[in-house]
């Protein structure tokens, strides 16, 4: 149970950074959903996101009472639940924006692919923990790829290219720390690059379009390219100091679509300017740097691998999301952790950070 020694070992930097980011997110979601202009239900998003954040805090406090090691015991069970959820999405899921990603449970619509990332991290950490030091040949890697491959393909099928790419980021981040040979890593990347054209063939048309417009948004300025163009305009026009909170014309006049979810960073760029955007990126950097630190200080391999997976996941999210809004990454529908509106992602990310706290809190071997 929680004792004073454990509480003293809490990572207050991570907690503070996370709290600040969530508070900022509530303000920016408010701005993006026009909380400043009269209209019914304008508080809905902020209230919902805030409420879930509070519930998650309680949930995390409860989870902190348990050593993260128990996760290893649930790894295979979680993996199984994950597959069931992803299959459920395939058969009873709801479509939105061209992809089948949601399942409705009572009043809550869940996005299983969000949770499946964390589940994959836990399951993979458990698997790699047992294989540490035994990753000497390609043969050793095959079971790992199969293990990750099944949920990966189910998500790719939804289709959710973004999340499946997150899976790859998690996989390679964790393999790297688990000690995969550099030579093997090179071969895998080389082969991956060689198979890219074939991979392209399996993409859905809208995904191909997204990648094409990423190369040149003006091929379809009112369609797929619209998001990129408007997002770049929003960020760029924020200039050094921004247009002020609630003052972003791109966002407030609705030129910027999805501005409270995937493109929320464009609102930050527009309203808070370069300075505000960089300060927020700095908070993310602190958070991720703590993630690496926690991975290094974990008391066991399982903790190191868990922290590595979580950090890899969050890093990839920040890179792809901010890169997408700034026009250097294709549009893949990956939300910005802790910032984008979306309670599934918020919950996943907060629990992930809770796990980081758990690992750090228990970094010292218990001495009697």
Partner 1 sequence: MLVKRSNYRLDVLAIIILLVFVALVSRLGYLQVVQGKYYGEKADGNRIRLAPIMAPRGMFYDRNGIPLVSNRPGFAVSLLPISGPVPDDIIVKVASILNITPDEIKKKLSQHSGRFEPIRIKSDIGPDIVTKIEERRAELPGVVIEIQPIRNYINNELAAHLFGYVSEINDVELEKAQEKSNEYKSGDIIGKFGLEKVYDRELRGIDGGNQVEVDVTGRPVNVLGRKETVPGKNLTLTIDYKIQKAAEVAIDEQLTYLQTKSEFRNAKAAAAIAMNPKTGEILAMVSRPTFNPNLFSGGISSKDWKALNENPNNPMNNKAISGEYPPGSTFKLVTGAAALELGKVTPEEKILDTGKHWIIAKGNAEGEALGWINFKEALTKSDNVYFYEMGNRLGIDNLEKYARMFGLGVTTGINLQGESEGLVANQRYKEKVYGEEWYLSETFDAAIGQGFQLTTPLQVAVLMSEIANGGYRYRPYLVSKISSNKGEVIKTFAPEEVGRIQLSDRTLTLIRESLRDVALEGGTAAQAFRDFPIAIAGKTGTAENSHGSDHGWFIAYGPYEDPRIVVVVIVEQGGFGAGSAAPIARKIMEAAFNLNQDPAAAQQTHKPQTAL
Which is closer to partner 1, CB of 30 or CB of 269?
269
Which is closer to partner 1, CB of 115 or CB of 284?
284
Count the neighbouring beta carbons within 10 Å of the beta carbon of residue 136: 12
Which is closer to partner 1, CB of 113 or CB of 325?
325
In the complex, the smallest distance separating the C-beta of residue 187 from partner 1, rounded to whole angstroms, is: 18
Q: What is the dihedral of CA 189, 194, 198, 203, to 10 degrees?
A: 40
Q: Which two tokens stand for residue 75?
A: 């790894």
Q: Which two tokens stand for residue 180?
A: 């995969």
In the complex, the smallest distance separating the C-beta of residue 163 from partner 1, rounded to whole angstroms, is: 19
**Spatial separation of the C-alpha atoms in residues 337 and 169, rounded to whole Å:** 15
Secondary structure of residue 329 in the 3-state scheme: coil
In the complex, the smallest distance separating the C-beta of residue 32 from partner 1, rounded to whole angstroms, is: 14
Strands (E), the chain: 94-96, 99-105, 108-110
Q: Which two tokens stand for residue 104?
A: 């409705």
User: Does an H or E element contain 336, and which?
Assistant: none
Which is closer to partner 1, CB of 149 or CB of 327?
327
Could you list the residues that contact partner 1 (CB under 8 A)? Answer: 132-133, 173, 176-179, 221-222, 226, 230, 232-240, 249-250, 253-255, 269-270, 273-274, 277-278, 281, 284-285, 288-289, 292, 295-296, 301, 304, 308, 311-312, 315, 318-319, 322-323, 326-328
In the complex, the smallest distance separating the C-beta of residue 180 from partner 1, rounded to whole angstroms, is: 10
Q: Please name every residue paired with 105 in a beta bridge, in sequence order, or none if there are none.
A: 108
**Spatial separation of the C-alpha atoms in residues 343 and 349, rounded to whole Å:** 10
Which is closer to partner 1, CB of 53 or CB of 287?
287
Which is closer to partner 1, CB of 203 or CB of 245?
245
Long-range own/partner contacts, residues 162-167 (CB < 8 A, 24 or more apart): 162/320, 162/332, 162/333, 162/334, 163/113, 163/114, 163/116, 163/117, 163/334, 165/316, 165/320, 165/332, 165/334, 166/117, 166/313, 166/316, 166/317, 166/334, 167/117, 167/120
Angle at Cα 146 formed by Cα 145 and Cα 152, nearest 5°? 80
In the complex, the smallest distance separating the C-beta of residue 338 from partner 1, rounded to whole angstroms, is: 16
In the complex, the smallest distance separating the C-beta of residue 258 from partner 1, rounded to whole angstroms, is: 13
Which is closer to partner 1, CB of 150 or CB of 239?
239
In the complex, the smallest distance separating the C-beta of residue 365 from partner 1, rounded to whole angstroms, is: 12
In the complex, the smallest distance separating the C-beta of residue 210 from partner 1, rounded to whole angstroms, is: 19
In the complex, the smallest distance separating the C-beta of residue 118 from partner 1, rounded to whole angstroms, is: 19
- What is the rounded radius of gyration, in angstroms, for the C-alpha atoms of the chain? 21
Which is closer to partner 1, CB of 212 or CB of 249?
249
Which is closer to partner 1, CB of 64 or CB of 128?
128
Q: Which two tokens stand for residue 292?
A: 């690496």
Sort strands 94-96 and 108-110 into parallel, antiparallel or unpaired.
Answer: unpaired
**Spatial separation of the C-alpha atoms in residues 224 and 106, rounded to whole Å:** 33
């Amino acid at each position: 149970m929680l004792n004073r020694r454990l509480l003293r070992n809490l990572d207050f930097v991570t907690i503070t950074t996370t709290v600040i980011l969530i508070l900022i997110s509530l303000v920016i979601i408010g701005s993006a959903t026009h909380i400043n202009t009269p209209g019914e239900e304008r508080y809905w998003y902020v209230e919902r996101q805030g409420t879930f954040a509070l519930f998650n805090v309680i949930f995390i406090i409860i989870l902190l009472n348990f050593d993260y090691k128990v996760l290893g015991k649930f790894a295979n069970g979680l993996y199984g639940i994950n597959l069931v959820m992803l299959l459920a999405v395939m058969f009873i899921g709801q479509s939105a924006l061209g992809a089948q990603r949601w399942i409705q449970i009572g009043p809550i619509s869940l996005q299983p692919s969000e949770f499946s990332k964390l589940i994959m991290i836990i399951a993979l950490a458990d698997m790699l923990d047992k294989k540490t030091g035994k990753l000497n040949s390609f043969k050793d890697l095959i079971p790992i790829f199969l293990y990750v491959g099944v949920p990966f393909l189910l998500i790719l099928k939804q289709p959710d290219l973004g999340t499946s790419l997150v899976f790859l980021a998690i996989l390679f981040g964790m393999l790297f720390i688990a000690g995969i040979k550099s030579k093997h890593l090179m071969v895998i990347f080389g082969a991956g690059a060689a198979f890219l054209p074939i991979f392209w063939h399996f993409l859905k048309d809208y995904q191909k379009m997204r990648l094409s417009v990423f190369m040149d948004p003006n091929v379809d300025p009112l369609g797929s390219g619209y998001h990129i163009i408007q997002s770049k305009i929003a960020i760029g026009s924020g200039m050094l100091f921004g247009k002020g909170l609630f003052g972003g014309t791109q966002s407030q006049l609705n030129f910027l679509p999805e501005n409270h979810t995937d493109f929320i960073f464009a609102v930050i760029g527009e309203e808070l300017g370069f300075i505000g955007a960089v300060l927020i990126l700095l908070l993310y950097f602190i958070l991720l740097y703590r993630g690496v630190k926690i991975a290094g200080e974990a008391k066991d391999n399982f903790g190191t691998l868990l922290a590595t997976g979580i950090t890899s996941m969050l890093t990839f999210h920040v890179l792809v999301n901010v890169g997408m809004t700034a026009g250097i990454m294709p549009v893949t529908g990956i939300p910005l952790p802790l910032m984008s509106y979306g309670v599934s992602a918020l919950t996943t990310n907060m629990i992930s950070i809770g796990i980081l706290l758990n690992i750090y809190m228990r970094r010292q071997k218990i001495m009697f």
